[in-house]
Amino acid sequence: MLMANKRTEIVIIYSLDYIYTNLKKKSPTNFTFIQALKHLIHIYIITLLLACTSCSSNKREIKLNNDKWQNFKTIRLDQVLLNAKNIDEIHQQFIKYPQLYQNFYANMIRAGKKEDVLVSRLPEEVKSNLESFVNDSTIKSFLIEIQKEFPDFENYKIEIAKGLNRCENLFKYRYPKKKIGTFFSLFNADVHEFDSIIWIGLDMYLGPENRITKLLPNESLPQYIKDKMDKKYIVSDVLFGYLMTHHYQYLGDDLLSKAISYGKISYLMDLILPDEQKENKFRYTEKELDWCQKNEKYIWQYIVDHELLYEKNPKKISYFFNPGPFTKNFGQDSPSNIGIWLGSRIIEDFAKNSELNIQEILKEKNIQKLLNSYDPK
């Protein structure tokens, strides 16, 4: 299949100019006809190139199955906590999802042991612990605030379901339960997969300007985390977490291999969430993404000059991939996770200069081959 690119277009146009000039010399009387012919040929060639580009991009377009993603349902356990008439009602709803229930009771609200809740009838002590939690005035105010911010989760569910459906079509498997859940984590969890269902802790997305978020102590949630507790990241967070859990490809412990592994996840994010804002996929603001784009050459040169490309020592490279207020050694205007962003650029350039389909790109493990097409902007 033809691949349209600038070099091909330039060669064709120069060739046309050469033919046009010679025909003009030989047939000056037919100049108007020749000029019109030239324009027609130009239009034909450009149309052909655009068609070839479209053919190439179609190889990497993942279709949706409308009858599949539209069947997804949302489980609102945060609303159960707020609206249930008694603890028995809460228990009957939560016990349907044993992994989540155990983690919620033991690890999030820290009310007791995991095994305490997986019973048909709650012991009085466990019942009392849950009652103390849900009837606490502060907890009630948190749950009410979540309801104000998320009275309806439908739009988020639709975009998440579409992304998961594209995953199903690409990898030829089924997301098992066709359900997405929301819950209250007491600010301990954002996105997790329990009971083969993706669960979203909505308290972690109340918004950086929300009064509850502002009241949270920096000792438990640093300001850089609160700054990103934004609902605009929900869809990207869900799909990124899902891809990291099920499709992360380990290529090595050095910085370059780790960046490329993350880069493949970012490449998938672009394919399964084609309508999502680019910056959201990295948990960036527009300003942070702009910083990366403007400083790409500097980032690359720093890594090369400091001989970090093949460095495996976590102490020397972990800051490229860890969350934080910024990336160490790159100034306070830099965002965190620039190693992930750099990996996305490497795979982006490889895909752009390759005729491989999605699966072939993902299967490519030759680091040098993946790197050869990279051109720091």
Q: What is the pTM of this model?
A: 0.84
pLDDT of 15 over the 50 cut: no
pLDDT band at 150 (very low <50, low <70, confident <90, very high): very high
Phi, psi dihedral angles at 201 (to 5 degrees): -80, 100
DSSP state of 296: H
Q: What digits encode the pLDDT tens for the residues 255-265?
A: 999 999 999 99
pLDDT of 205 over the 90 cut: yes
Poorest-confidence range of 19-33, 216-230, 285-299, 327-341? 19-33
If you write DSSP's letter for every residue of 25-90 in order, what string do you get? HH-GGGHHHHHHHHHHHHHHHHHHHHHHHHHHHHTTPPPP-HHHHTT-EEEEHHHHHHH-SSHHHH
Identify the CA nearest to 16 among candidates 31, 43, 48, 38.
38
Give the chain's largest Cα–Cα span: 103
Question: Is-contact 252 367, C-beta < 8 A?
Answer: yes
In the chain, % of residues over pLDDT 70: 84
Per-domain boundaries in the chain: 6-58, 66-239, 248-372
pLDDT of 151 over the 70 cut: yes
Residue 171 corresponds to which tokens in the numbers above?
């990898």
> Phi-psi region for residue 374, left (φ > 0), alpha (ψ -120 to 50) or beta?
beta
